[in-house]
Amino acid sequence: MTGGAGFIGSHLVERLLSSGHNVDVLDSFQTGSRDYLSGGIRLLIEQDVSEPFGGRYSGIFHLACPASPVHYQATPLETFRTAVWGTSQVLENARRTGARVVIASTSEVYGNPLVHPQTEEYFGNVNPIGLRSCYDEGKRGGETLAMDYARVHGVDSRIVRIFNTYGPRMLFNDGRVVSNFCHQALLGKPLTVYGDGSQTRSFCFVSDMVEGLVRAMDVPVFESPVNLGNPEEYTVLELARMILELLEVDLEIRFLPLPSDDPARRKPDISKARNLLAWEPRIPVREGILKTIQEFRTRLARHGA
């Protein structure tokens, strides 16, 4: 698994190990953490995924890439190289060895969508030269490679488009709305809402996302791409108020200018995932937010915050 020390990746590694699989992890630790690496992994390959790597595998989960605006905008060249050239290295390994590949793409390929909810047939509305384009267009390029390797070389490459995912082990400083609000509220700070808070997001708990990824690898027949996410839609302001209510605190909500190319609405159509994978999210958002708050609180106490 590439990116196996990251937020989603580390949960997926644990799931695979608990199912009796042998797992090797490749991670550069740009955003991943050794703290979340399970002791049961067979091999840790510490390198950039954009460099060639060996090994023979029955399946490769390709999750490596900074996925939050804070991190990918800080390293745009590295992000684009990881999303495109890193995906090429993964697909080259699969071509040589016959491995099946699940490639973690993103809802950001839809950009600021003009179609709602977003279906896999929608081509997106993406700014190719903006601050977010290193990630958005990088992931679109990775999808192109995956499909061309399938057509030209017969690689079994499976694209999943991951929508907003949250849960324990999110980085405090990753700039995503759930981690921002939970972290700020636990520290007693104002919650920062960009724009007027009317933009919408759909939040999928990490264990549900892991289940979707596992099913994407396991099903005999797959039709790329497939959306994975929670179709239950919330405004950012609704999420902020929910977190304050769950924590039973009364904190200021501070409004800041909206970042460029920030999508106004984001909601997956998961009909394809339901039909192809027999998958849909199971964890209610309020329950998942509580689990996230509890883990954040424990981690903050451990760090003396």
CA–CA separation, 146 vs 140, rounded Å? 10
Is 23 in contact with 4 (CB distance < 8 Å)? yes
- Identify the sign of the CA torsion 266, 281, 26, 102: negative
CA distance 62 to 26: 9
Q: What is the largest CA-CA distance in the chain?
A: 58
User: Which one-letter DSSP state was computed for residue 14?
Assistant: H
Contacts of 196 (CB under 8 A, 6+ apart): 237, 255
Q: Which of 135, 149, 166, 234 is catalytic?
A: 135
Per the annotation, the verdict on 149 as an active-site residue is no
Express the helix, strand and coil content of the chain in percent, nearest 5 each. 40, 15, 40
Give the rounded distance of the alpha carbon of 76 from its chain centre.
17
Catalytic residue list = 135
